[in-house]
Structure 1
Amino acid sequence: MKYKKILTDSKGLTLVEVLVSLTILGIVLMGTMKFFSQAYTYTNMNEKKTAAVNVARNALMHIEKENFIEVRERFRNNKNETLSLQICNSAYKLFWSDASYDIECSPIIVNNIEYNVTINLLKSEDENVNLADGEHSSFFVPLEACVSWEINGKEEISTIEGEIKSEDLR
Structure 2
Amino acid sequence: MYRGHKVTEESGFSLVEVVAALVIFSIVTLSLTAFFINSMDYAKGNQNKTVMVNLARNALVYLEKQPFDEIKEYFIPVDSTIEGEDEITCELTTGCPPKVSKLVSDATVFNEILNPLVNDVRFKLTIEYQRDLHESDTMLGSSEQEDINMAQLLIPIKVIVEREDGRSGARNRTEVEGYITNERIRE
Report the TM range for the smaller structure's normalisation. 0.7 to 0.9
Are residues 1:83 and 2:84 paired?
no
Contact 2:124 2:164 in 1 (8 A): no
Contact 2:125 2:161 in 1 (8 A): yes
The two structures have a TM-score, normalised by structure 2, of: 0.70
Q: Give the partner amino acid of 2:182.
A: S
Contact 1:142 1:162 in 2 (8 A): yes
Residue identity (%) = 29
Q: Give the partner amino acid of 1:149.
A: R
What does residue 152 of structure 2 align with?
Answer: 138
The two structures have a TM-score, normalised by structure 1, of: 0.76
Q: CA deviation at 1:12?
A: 1.1
Q: CA deviation at 1:150?
A: 4.2
- Supply the distance in 1 between the matched residues of 2:98 and 2:19 (Cα, whole angstroms): 67
Aligned counterparts, 1:125-164, within 5 A? 125=133, 127-129=135-137, 134-150=148-164, 153-155=166-168, 156-164=172-180
RMSD across aligned positions (CA):
3.0
Determine which structure has the larger strand proportion and give its number.
Answer: 1
How many residue pairs match? The answer is 153
1:67–1:142 Cα change, 3 Å: same
Determine which structure has the larger helix proportion and give its number.
Answer: 2
The one of the two structures with greater contact order (alpha-carbon pairs below 8 A, sep at least 6) is 2
Unaligned runs of 5+ in 2: 1-8, 78-82, 102-106, 139-146
Asked which structure has the greater CA Rg, the reply is 2
- Supply the distance in 2 between the matched residues of 1:166 and 1:63 (Cα, whole angstroms): 11
What does residue 44 of structure 1 align with?
Answer: 44
Q: CA deviation at 1:76?
A: 1.0
What does residue 18 of structure 1 align with?
Answer: 18
Contact 2:86 2:130 in 1 (8 A): no
Q: CA deviation at 1:18?
A: 0.4
- Supply the distance in 2 between the matched residues of 1:146 and 1:64 (Cα, whole angstroms): 17
Q: CA deviation at 1:79?
A: 4.8
